[in-house]
Amino acid sequence: MLRHVTRVSALCLTFALAACDESLASLTGPTPQLKPTFSSIQTEIFENGDSSGRPACISCHNAAGQFFNGLNLTHAVAYTNLVNVASRGKPSAIRVVPGEPDNSYLIHKLEGGPALVGQRMPLNGPYLIAGQIDVIRRWIEEGAANN
């Protein structure tokens, strides 16, 4: 009987953990294809707007948009401009610290808060929803790989 209870408990835990991963995807709202990989974030967030009216990040953060603290998020250079790079607007802050979303200035800029220099992003909204930010957080937690 104890073995049966242990197996049932293990099975329930497996389903619960799988549901957590799936629930993250269901929270991405207007970007249902968003996954915690850099390529997905690049495509779904940086390069494309969404049905909430949020514009693509590259509409401002591109080679011509140098007045946005020099952050170019176009495909060819976005990763090298984000990971382990100091913010120009707040040089004491690193844009993306692999494994540390709470210490990554990208997360601060997306969530808003008193420690920002300038404004929350995207500028004047509409802002990313919690599920979208959670996917970016997960990517950073997992080491911010160029995947």
pLDDT at 63: 87
Distance CA 42, CA 129 (A): 16
- Which three-class secondary structure string do you get for 64-109? CCCCCCCCCCCCCCHHHHHECCECCCCCCCECECCCCHHHCHHHHH
Answer whether 81's CB lies under 8 Å from 72's CB.
Answer: yes
Where are the chain's structural domains?
A: 2-141
Residue 22 CB neighbour total at 10 angstroms: 10
| pTM to 2 decimal places | 0.80
pLDDT at 66: 57
- Measured CA to CA in angstroms, residue 32 lies from 26, 35, 51, 117, 137 at distances of 7, 9, 11, 31, 16
Write the pLDDT tens digit of every residue in 1-56.
444 433 433 333 333 433 444 445 456 888 889 999 999 999 999 999 888 888 89
pLDDT at 11: 36
Distance CA 90, CA 61 (A): 17
